[in-house]
A = this chain, B = another copy of it.
């Protein structure tokens, strides 16, 4: 039987693909006590394709950046499900760190990052309301437009 959060995912039409293997010699998550640290996830969709490639303030539009941030959040959820088995075990989304591949001077990172934040609140409700830092970086793995890391309180 699907849990409450997975039922909500279904209602939103979100399918969690198999969690991506790390691109290098590390692991996708580490649990220590009640905290789950999830590695930075880039904006790859279920087919392994980048949702947006390049820089905000450059070739990537604000709207595509938001879709990319949303994809990062979905990839975080896929890792959380792999870690916990059941997304209902998420007590709180504690923090998201958003890295926006940005041309110098691009100032709308928070709007881009909302693609990830809105998803968390849509899925988890108040438990999805998180602390957040958003910064514009010069480069990201695979030239992805967005990367998001996550910290979750879990039971």
- A81 near B: Cβ within 8 Å? no
Contact of A139 among B27, B28, B107, B129 (CB under 8 A): B107
Of chain B, the residue at the smallest CB distance from A93 is: B30
CA distance A24 to B111 in the complex (A): 7
- A19 near B: Cβ within 8 Å? no
Q: Are A132 and B96 in touch, CB under 8 angstroms?
A: no
Q: Are B135 and A38 in touch, CB under 8 angstroms?
A: no
CA distance A107 to B137 in the complex (A): 12
Query: What residues of chain B lie closer than 8 Å to A114, measured between beta carbons?
Result: 24-25
Contact of A24 among B27, B113, B149 (CB under 8 A): B113
CA distance A29 to B95 in the complex (A): 9
